[in-house]
Amino acid sequence: MAWDLCSKDDVIAFHPVTVAELKDEWSKMVEAMIREYQGQPYLGTATQVTSELHNGDGTKLLIVRKPPIISVSALEINEVALTASDYVIFDNHIALKSQNFTDGWLNVSVSYLSGATDVSADVRLAAITMVVAIVNYRKRAGADSSIKWGRTEQYAGEESPNLDIGLPTHLNEIMKQVLRRPKVRVR
C-alpha cells in the first residue's frame, strides 16, 4: 500500500530524482507518519468497518472510531435497523434526525466505509516533501552535523540543540509546517 498519498511522478516533478532511486518503504514510512499525525488511519485508502459497537448515551450523535466516514451501510439501535433518511453523515460522526441513541450497553451497531480516497493538496505536498527529504538525506549518507540540519542556539525551555537534528526531526517539522491537525471542539 505504498504511494497512496503521492505518486512517484509527483516526487519526480518536485525534485530531480530517478524512479529507481525511490523506494516503496520510504512512501510507507512517510504515509504512516502522516496518518498518525492527522489521526486518520485510512487516509488515502478506503476500508470497510463492520458491526462497530457503541453504547447508546441518549444523545443524537454517534462518533465513530475510524474516521472519516465515506458512507454508512447499516445502522442499528437495539437490533432495529434505521434507514438512510433517519440520519445525517458527517466526517467523523453520525447524527440522528428525529430520535436519540437510546441508553444501553453496546446496543448501537454501525457498519460503514471509512477513509478518504481524495487526498488534499497539503497532505500531498507534505508527503512529496518528506520523500524528497529522505532522498536528500540518503544522498548525504546521513551526515547529520551539517548546518542545514543543526541549530546551535538554545532558547529558554527548549530541548537541547543536539536533539533538534537529523531526519526524524526534519520530517516532523515538515508535517508541523504543512499540515493542520483536525481540531476537536468540546461543548
- Coil, strand or helix: which one is 187? coil
Query: Which of 102, 126, 142 corresponds to the end of one domain?
Result: 142
Answer yes or no: do 14 and 101 share one domain. no
- Contact predicate 153/31, CB 8 Å: no
Answer yes or no: do 34 and 122 share one domain. yes
User: How close are the terminal C-alpha atoms of the chain, in Å?
Assistant: 38
What's the grid cell of residue 138? Answer: 540518503
Answer yes or no: do 122 and 95 share one domain. no
- Contact predicate 64/112, CB 8 Å: yes
Whole-prediction pTM value?
Answer: 0.68
| 137 in any annotated domain | yes
pLDDT of the residue at 115 = 84
What's the mean per-residue pLDDT of the chain? Answer: 86
CA distance 162 to 1: 35
Answer yes or no: do 124 and 106 share one domain. no
pLDDT of the residue at 66 = 87
| 149 in any annotated domain | no
Give ∠ CA 74-90-104 in degrees, rounded to 5. Answer: 55
Answer yes or no: do 10 and 50 share one domain. no
pLDDT of the residue at 137 = 84
Answer yes or no: do 101 and 75 share one domain. yes
pLDDT of the residue at 162 = 56
**Edge-to-edge order in the sheet of strand 46-56:** 46-56, 104-115, 69-77, 80-81
Number of domains in the chain: 2
Answer yes or no: do 101 and 134 share one domain. no
Query: Which of 115, 133, 155 corresponds to the end of one domain?
Result: 115
Answer yes or no: do 93 and 50 share one domain. yes
| Residue 91, domain extent | 46-115
Which stretches of the chain drop beneath a pLDDT of 70?
1, 141-154, 158-165, 182-185, 187
- 98 Cβ partners below 8 Å, 6+ apart? 86
- Contact predicate 123/43, CB 8 Å: yes
Answer yes or no: do 95 and 135 share one domain. no
- 58-to-55, 65, 100, 102, 155 alpha-carbon distances in Å: 9, 18, 5, 5, 50
pLDDT of the residue at 64 = 94
pLDDT of the residue at 184 = 65
Give ∠ CA 69-33-183 in degrees, rounded to 5. Answer: 50
CA distance 35 to 41: 5
| 187 in any annotated domain | no
pLDDT of the residue at 96 = 96
